[in-house]
Amino acid sequence: MNDKLKVLLVDDHTVVRAGFRMLLSSQHFIEQIMDVDRGELACQNYNEFQPDVVVMDLSMPGIGGLETIRRLVQLDNKAIILVYSIHDEAIYVERALQAGAKGYVSKNSAAEVLAEAVLLVASGERYVEEGLLPEQKFNNNKESLRQIIDVLSPREFDVFCLLAKGMTVREAASDLCLGYKTVANYSTQIKNKLNASTAADLAHIAITLGIIKND
């Protein structure tokens, strides 16, 4: 890699982006930073900016983080993407890595962890923050559910998580900036795939797999 890195920062919250930009710009090994507020713009600007590392959130309006990862990898199979997300559940980490991310850091981590992660993934290593992928043993039911979850599309997975957390279809549509009918169709497809009838069934599956916590 070059001595100085170019970083593309993707997060839909203006204040968060400003904080990340300040943090990353203070690192001696980072030369340029471009920041955008959603995945579509990351994809549009990727080839022109040619970042060494993309640092991005998962929960964003529009196409969302997982689909953004997939599209960036399609644009450039050598793309280096580091996820920096509030979600610290193992399944989010797994889905991001499956989509093509090279690393994953929780937003609950210390600032120096993100800086270290950027440097490591830029050098060709994979970096997953310690503790985010604990060894887990699943019984047959959990394993079966996880296999089904793994075949959900990135957008289906986003919708599933919101519905499992108790959002209505209309609330999920608003959160994801999608049409009501689109999310309703996703909801039907997800329930069919998971053999679930109600939002409570989706919540139970999400809790079983550790996607949401049962407080």
Q: What is the pLDDT of residue 57?
A: 94
CB 67 within 8 A of CB 39: yes
**Amino acid at position 130, single letter:** E
Residues 144, 124 within the same domain: no
Chain centroid to CA 167: 19
Residues 64, 152 within the same domain: no
Residues 19, 97 within the same domain: yes
CB 142 within 8 A of CB 180: no
Q: State the Cα angle at 215 between 99 and 195, rounded to 5°.
A: 55
Q: What is the pLDDT of residue 141?
A: 54
Residue 134 domain-assigned (yes or no): no
Residues 59, 31 within the same domain: yes
Residues 122, 170 within the same domain: no
Residues 68, 170 within the same domain: no
Residues 111, 203 within the same domain: no
**Exposure letters 50-65 (e unless 16+ CB within 10 A, then b):** ebbbbbbbbbbebbbb
d(CA 15, CA 142): 38
Domain of 150 in residue numbering reads as 140-208
Residues 9, 115 within the same domain: yes
> CA neighbours within 13 Å on the CB side: how many for 190?
29
Residue 37 domain-assigned (yes or no): yes
Q: State the Cα angle at 90 between 89 and 96, rounded to 5°.
A: 100
Question: Among residues 96, 128, 160, which one ends one of the domains?
Answer: 128
**Amino acid at position 213, single letter:** K
CATH assignment at residue 36: 3.40.50.2300
Instruction: Please choose, from the candidates 12, 5, 39, 34, the residue with its C-alpha nearest in 3D space to the C-alpha of residue 115.
Output: 5
> Which residue blocks in 50-179 are alpha helix, DSSP H?
64-75, 90-99, 111-122, 140-150, 154-164, 169-176
pLDDT per residue rounded down to tens, the chain (215 residues): 447 899 999 999 999 899 989 999 999 999 999 999 999 999 999 999 999 999 999 989 889 999 999 999 999 999 999 999 999 888 899 899 989 999 999 988 887 889 889 998 998 888 888 878 754 433 445 666 677 778 788 899 999 999 999 899 999 999 999 999 899 989 988 988 887 877 888 888 888 887 877 65
Question: Among residues 78, 95, 128, which one ends one of the domains?
Answer: 128
CATH assignment at residue 182: 1.10.10.10
Question: Among residues 103, 128, 153, which one ends one of the domains?
Answer: 128
Residues 113, 163 within the same domain: no
d(CA 36, CA 176): 17
Residues 148, 46 within the same domain: no
The pTM assigned to this predicted structure is 0.67
Q: What is the pLDDT of residue 202?
A: 87
Residues 104, 168 within the same domain: no
Q: How many separate domains does the chain show?
A: 2
Residues 9, 98 within the same domain: yes
> Which residue do the tokens 């800086």 mark?
115
> CA neighbours within 13 Å on the CB side: how many for 70?
11
